[in-house]
């Protein structure tokens, strides 16, 4: 603004606008407070010679060096610096593009790169950032072209301006068995957030990216519109499916979040095959469709909410904790008291149950005396904690600790997570059984949590009990058991927690192996459909009898885990059953998926890549939305949608810059 005062006489700001009178031609111009574009444009059009001369003299010291200069000519040296500024400062450090016109920044650049020719913030927005966006998008597209399948997480987010955005992340395993996660799209979502609208927009985006035929699983939270949107995948082919979708939408209008966990149809129904009946044809299953999976972390959170909200005395004590936290953060005296003991009280967040767990922990760490001092300082007798309250809090932490650990683990960015789901459910079931004899006041909480686990994870719990699984059961997808078996960290090692009899353990192992072999058969059928000239050999052997014999022999040895068992001849390609048997029998406990990497791709290795592309939770898209909130800071709410979407895309995918 100081630069412009040599050309304009400015009136005091009024109604968030500032008016300037040109000293050269007496014209009057108005602009928003904090914006100078209209004044610079007038000078550039009417008094260009004086303007450019003065601007050249003040290039380093100017507060606002003007708007986009179409005639800006940069050298390779300038281009590299501009790209580095956009990449490292604007994208990675989240500094605003307007920084480039700030006097302090230009003085700094004059010291470190005095030959750099300054550009405008607008040039950065319309030239350099779009160029970076195109570069990263090209890398993402190239990666997608190299894979056969991927899974996606999808969710909706609203910014500080109440504008809605749809985000989609993609997850896949490459040929070297390295996992990748990218933000595929972050776009404005206009109109109603109905299931049909969400599904149609998703379908258009995936078709635009050329990956609609590669989607293996879709992971969302349990919001009713998300459940309905992807209940039938992304493709609704006939009138019956359209009618079903409409009926599902109508029926779900009055369904609460508790009752809408996951109504997606299971791809494969649980089948227990008798060991002597291995010649059952596995190829008669229904064609695979794109299937929605519920976010495991969200479902776990809802299950915990069931327990916390339905136990009156626990709810009352927890309410005290929340009020104590709320009032403590508004009192300077309490702040001083906490500072003296070097402690803090966590805040509660109603959308994250873990915040309540951490709140309870923080209050217990304070101790009775400090809590009593705080309540006396606040001077509120209703917040007094007695011995019973502390006993309840201590037992609550003991009961809920594994839930918090599991929630953190299943949202990891660095490890595969889908294989954790079954062992996590087993661990919780085992933990709740153990805790029954260790608590005195929260036995009802344990009973409620057990009921919630049986309801919200019915598909997994029923399979663990060798019961029939219904299409309407949440978490009914056999994928979770396939992933657990194929993960070297787990295999069957978690089964001892279930206290199975030898017979039940053998049946469950046999059933899980059959699920993997079903996947192998489906993979073989897909390969044959793509290559009509491929041979029509029987899946497990050259003829039916030898195939049956091979499977029976291997399945008798599966549970012996004999390291000395003869290896498959190197002159013949091992069948999936042979490879699976060898893998299960290995005792090395190699915890990396790289153990599946082979020089020649196999059915099992292809299945591993596909299955482990699935995420246990929708945490990846939630992390992307966290970055969106950082980009859209309270001081940047006037940012245009196109620039905002580009910056979010670049920030989340910054490892590709």
Report whether 184 contacts 652 (CB < 8 A): no
State the Cα–Cα distance between residues 482 and 421, nearest whole angstrom: 11
Final residue in a domain of this structure, among 145, 172, 207: 145
Q: How many domains does the chain have?
A: 5
pLDDT above 60 (res 618):
yes
Query: pTM value?
Result: 0.75
pLDDT above 90 (res 257):
no
Region of poorest pLDDT, from 99-108, 351-360, 509-518: 351-360
What is the tens place of the pLDDT at every residue in 48-61?
878 877 765 454 34
The reported pLDDT for the residue numbered 532 is 53
Report whether 38 contacts 29 (CB < 8 A): yes
pLDDT bucket at 133, cuts 50 / 70 / 90: very high
State the Cα–Cα distance between residues 207 and 485, nearest whole angstrom: 33
State the Cα–Cα distance between residues 132 and 137, nearest whole angstrom: 8
Q: Is 69 within the bounds of a domain?
A: no
Final residue in a domain of this structure, among 588, 604, 631: 588
- φ, ψ of residue 347 in degrees (nearest 5): -95, 155
> Per DSSP, what are the bridge partners of residue 172?
180
pLDDT above 70 (res 559):
no
Report whether 318 contacts 356 (CB < 8 A): yes
State the Cα–Cα distance between residues 491 and 614, nearest whole angstrom: 18
Final residue in a domain of this structure, among 145, 171, 202: 145
The encoded tokens of residue 7 equal 């050309």
Handedness of CA 396, 402, 405, 408 (dihedral sign): negative
End-to-end CA distance of the chain: give it in Å, rounded. Answer: 35
Range 512-523 average pLDDT: 89
Is residue 330 domain-shared with residue 478, that is, in the same domain? yes
pLDDT above 50 (res 446):
yes
Region of poorest pLDDT, from 30-44, 234-248, 487-501: 234-248
Is residue 323 domain-shared with residue 385, that is, in the same domain? yes
Q: Is 67 within the bounds of a domain?
A: no
Is residue 156 domain-shared with residue 135, that is, in the same domain? no
Q: Is 493 within the bounds of a domain?
A: no
The reported pLDDT for the residue numbered 296 is 94
CA-based nearest residue to 458, from 437, 480, 442, 440 = 480
The reported pLDDT for the residue numbered 590 is 63
According to the 3-state scheme, what is the secondary structure of 23-48? Answer: CCCCCEEEEECCCCHHHHHHHHHHCH
State the Cα–Cα distance between residues 206 and 106, nearest whole angstrom: 43
pLDDT bucket at 596, cuts 50 / 70 / 90: confident
State the Cα–Cα distance between residues 570 and 573, nearest whole angstrom: 7
Q: Which residue shows structure tokens 């999976």?
A: 293
State the Cα–Cα distance between residues 463 and 291, nearest whole angstrom: 19
pLDDT above 70 (res 536):
no
Q: Is 605 within the bounds of a domain?
A: no
Residue 514: how many other CB atoms lie within 10 Å: 20
pLDDT bucket at 591, cuts 50 / 70 / 90: low
Q: Is 63 within the bounds of a domain?
A: no
Q: Is 238 within the bounds of a domain?
A: yes
What is the tens place of the pLDDT at every residue in 296-308?
999 998 888 888 8
Is residue 17 domain-shared with residue 78, that is, in the same domain? no
DSSP state of 417: -
Dihedral angle, C-alpha 639, 645, 648, 650, nearest 10 °? -120
Is residue 51 domain-shared with residue 90, that is, in the same domain? no
Is residue 316 domain-shared with residue 460, that is, in the same domain? yes
The encoded tokens of residue 382 equal 């209703």
State the Cα–Cα distance between residues 434 and 444, nearest whole angstrom: 14
Handedness of CA 233, 238, 241, 242 (dihedral sign): positive
What are the angstrom distances between the C-alpha of 3 and each of 65, 73, 94, 118? 8, 23, 27, 16
pLDDT above 60 (res 547):
no
Domain extent for 512 = 502-588
State the Cα–Cα distance between residues 240 and 481, nearest whole angstrom: 31
Q: Is 274 within the bounds of a domain?
A: no
The reported pLDDT for the residue numbered 234 is 65
Range 487-501 average pLDDT: 91
Q: What is the CATH number of the domain that holds 645?
A: 3.30.420
Is residue 481 domain-shared with residue 334, that is, in the same domain? yes
* DSSP 3-state of 609: helix
CA-based nearest residue to 218, from 652, 617, 647 = 617
The encoded tokens of residue 39 equal 């004044």
- φ, ψ of residue 154 in degrees (nearest 5): -135, 140
Burial environment of residue 314 by CB neighbours within 10 A (0 to 12, 13 to 18, 19 or more): buried
The encoded tokens of residue 234 equal 């992304």
pLDDT bucket at 105, cuts 50 / 70 / 90: very high
State the Cα–Cα distance between residues 592 and 569, nearest whole angstrom: 25
Is residue 409 domain-shared with residue 460, that is, in the same domain? yes
pLDDT above 50 (res 538):
no
Is residue 434 domain-shared with residue 461, that is, in the same domain? yes
State the Cα–Cα distance between residues 386 and 640, nearest whole angstrom: 54
Is residue 230 domain-shared with residue 337, that is, in the same domain? no
Percent of the chain clearing pLDDT 90 (strictly above): 45
What are the angstrom distances between the C-alpha of 521 and each of 283, 290, 443? 6, 18, 47
Greater confidence, 549 or 314?
314
pLDDT bucket at 176, cuts 50 / 70 / 90: confident
Q: Is 340 within the bounds of a domain?
A: yes
pLDDT above 80 (res 217):
yes
Region of poorest pLDDT, from 167-171, 193-197, 279-283, 531-535: 279-283
Tell me the longest C-alpha to C-alpha distance in the chain.
99
Range 540-559 average pLDDT: 38
Is residue 162 domain-shared with residue 141, that is, in the same domain? no
Pairing, β 179-188 against β 164-173: antiparallel
pLDDT bucket at 392, cuts 50 / 70 / 90: very high
Dihedral angle, C-alpha 550, 553, 559, 563, nearest 10 °? -80
State the Cα–Cα distance between residues 3 and 221, nearest whole angstrom: 52
pLDDT above 60 (res 86):
yes
Average model confidence (pLDDT) for the chain? Answer: 81
Is residue 3 domain-shared with residue 134, that is, in the same domain? no
């Amino acid at each position: 603004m100081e630069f412009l005062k040599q050309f304009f006489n400015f009136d005091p700001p009024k109604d968030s606008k500032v008016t300037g009178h040109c000293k050269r031609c007496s014209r009057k111009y108005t602009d928003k407070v904090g914006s100078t574009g209209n004044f610079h444009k007038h000078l550039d059009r009417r008094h260009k010679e004086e303007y450019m001369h003065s601007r050249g003299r003040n290039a380093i010291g100017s507060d606002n060096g003007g708007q986009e200069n179409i005639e800006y000519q940069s050298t390779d040296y300038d281009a590299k610096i501009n790209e580095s500024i956009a990449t490292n400062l604007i994208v990675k450090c989240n500094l605003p593009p307007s920084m480039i016109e700030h006097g302090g920044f230009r003085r700094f650049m004059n010291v470190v790169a005095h030959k750099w020719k300054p550009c405008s913030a607008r040039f950065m927005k319309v030239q350099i950032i779009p160029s970076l966006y195109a570069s990263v998008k090209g890398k993402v597209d190239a990666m997608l072209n190299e894979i056969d399948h991927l899974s996606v997480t999808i969710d909706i987010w609203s910014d500080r301006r109440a504008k809605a955005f749809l985000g989609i992340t993609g997850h896949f395993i490459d040929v070297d068995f390295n996992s990748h996660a990218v933000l595929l799209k972050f776009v404005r979502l206009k109109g109603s957030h109905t299931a049909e609208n969400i599904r149609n927009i998703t379908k258009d985006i995936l078709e635009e990216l050329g990956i609609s035929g590669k989607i293996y699983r879709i992971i969302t939270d349990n919001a009713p519109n998300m459940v309905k949107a992807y209940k039938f995948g992304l493709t609704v082919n006939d009138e019956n499916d359209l009618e079903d979708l409409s009926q599902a939408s109508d029926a779900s209008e009055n369904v609460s979040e508790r009752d809408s966990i996951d109504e997606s149809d299971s791809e494969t129904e649980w089948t227990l095959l008798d060991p002597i009946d291995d010649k059952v044809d596995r190829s008669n299953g229904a064609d695979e469709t794109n299937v929605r999976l519920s976010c495991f972390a969200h479902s776990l959170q809802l299950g915990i909410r069931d327990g916390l909200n339905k136990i009156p005395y626990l709810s009352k004590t927890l309410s005290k904790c929340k009020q104590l936290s709320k009032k403590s953060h508004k009192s300077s005296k309490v702040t001083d008291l906490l500072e003296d003991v070097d402690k803090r009280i966590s805040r509660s967040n109603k959308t994250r149950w873990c915040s309540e767990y951490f709140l309870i922990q923080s209050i217990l760490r304070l101790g009775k005396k400090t809590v009593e001092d705080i309540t006396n300082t606040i001077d509120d007798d209703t917040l007094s904690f007695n011995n019973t309250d502390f006993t309840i809090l201590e037992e609550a932490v003991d009961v809920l600790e594994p839930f918090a650990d599991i929630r953190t683990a299943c949202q990891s960015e660095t490890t595969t997570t889908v294989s954790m789901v079954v062992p996590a459910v087993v661990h919780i079931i085992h933990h709740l059984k153990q805790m029954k004899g260790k608590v005195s006041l929260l036995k009802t909480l344990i009973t409620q949590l057990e009921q919630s686990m049986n309801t919200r994870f019915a598909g997994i719990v029923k399979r663990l009990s060798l019961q029939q699984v219904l299409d309407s059961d949440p978490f009914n997808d056999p994928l979770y058991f396939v992933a657990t078996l194929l993960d070297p960290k787990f295999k069957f090692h978690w089964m001892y927690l279930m206290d199975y009899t030898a017979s039940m353990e053998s049946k469950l192992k046999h059933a899980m192996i059959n699920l993997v072999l079903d996947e192998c058969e489906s993979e073989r059928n897909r390969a044959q459909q793509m290559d009509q000239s491929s041979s029509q050999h029987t899946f497990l052997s050259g003829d039916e009898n030898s195939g049956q014999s091979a499977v029976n022999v291997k399945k008798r040895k599966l549970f012996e885990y004999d390291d000395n068992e003869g290896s498959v001849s190197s002159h013949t390609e091992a069948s999936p059953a042979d490879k699976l048997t060898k893998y299960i029998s290995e005792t090395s406990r190699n915890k990396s998926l790289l153990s599946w990497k082979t020089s020649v791709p196999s059915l099992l290795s292809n299945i591993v890549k596909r299955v482990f592309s699935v995420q246990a939770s929708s945490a990846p898209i939630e992390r992307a939305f966290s970055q969106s909130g950082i980009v859209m800071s309270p001081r940047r709410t006037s940012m245009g949608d196109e620039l905002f979407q580009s910056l979010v895309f670049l920030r989340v995918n910054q490892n590709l810059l």
